[in-house]
Amino acid sequence: MQQTRYHHGDLRHSLVSIGADMLNAKGIASISLREIARTIGVGHNAPYRHFRNKHELLEAVAEEGFRKLTAKNTRLELEFAHDPETQLFESAMHIVLLAAEQPNLYQLMFGGFLQPAGSDSALKQAADDAVHSLVRIIKSGQQQQVFIQGDEVKLSLSAMSMIQGIAMMVSTGKLKPLPNMKSWSESPTVLKGMVLQLFDVFLRGLKLDK
C-alpha cells in the first residue's frame, strides 16, 4: 500500500480507511497501528490520539461498515419505494457481496470478533441502526400488504438468518466459486442466482397470499 496523504484534522478517517484496506488485504491478526501510521506517513504515536489500541481501531472499521449498510438500505427504500421485495433482495445481495469481496471485513462485522463495551457504544449503535434499517424494509412491505403481518423485528431476524447463512459460507470459503473462477468477483451472476433461489424459498413464507 502506498503512502497516503491526509488533510489536517482528518487523521482519524485516514486511520480507519487504511485500517480497512489492511484488514481486507492481510486479515484481522495483521492489523498494526504502527504500520498504519507508517503507511499514512505520520509518527508512530499519532494513531493513539484517536484510538487507545488496535481493538478500538477495529471497532471503528466495523462501525463504518455498519453505517454503509444502513445507508445502502436507506437508498433502497427510496429507489424501490413501491417494491419491498426488491429492497429486501438487494439488501441481501449487498451483504453477500460484502462477504464475497471483503470476507475479512464481513467476519469482523458479523463473526463475533468484537464485543462492544457497553450498551451505548458507537459500534453497538451502528449495528442496531443497520438492523433497524432492515426492519423498516419489512415494515414497509407489511404496510403495502406485500409481506405477512406480525412482529417486524422477528421477521427481520428471520431474513437476517437466511442472509447471514449464505454470507458466512461465502466468507469462510465453505461455498466456493466455480472451478474456472479464481474468486466470486469473477462470477457475481452465479452468486446472485444462488441468492435468488434461496430468496424465493424464503419469500414463500413471508409474502401474503393474494
Return the residue matching grid coordinates 478517517.
13
Q: Where are the beta strands (DSSP E) in the chain?
A: none
Task: Write phi, then psi, for 50 (nearest 5 degrees).
Answer: -115, -30
> What local confidence, expressed as pLDDT, does residue 113 receive?
82
The low-confidence residues of the chain, meaning pLDDT below 50, are 1-8
Q: What pTM, to 2 d.p., does this model score?
A: 0.86
* pLDDT for 8: 43
What is the model's pLDDT at position 7? 47
pLDDT value, residue 3: 44
pLDDT 10s digits, 133-179: 999 999 999 999 999 999 999 999 998 888 998 899 989 888 877 77
Domains of the chain: 1-51 (1.10.10.60), 55-206 (1.10.357.10)
- pLDDT, tens digit, 9 for 90 and up, residues 35-44: 999 988 888 8
**Burial state string for 41-77 with b = 16 or more CB within 10 A and e = fewer than 16:** ebeeebbeebbeebebbbbbbbbbbbbebbebbeebb
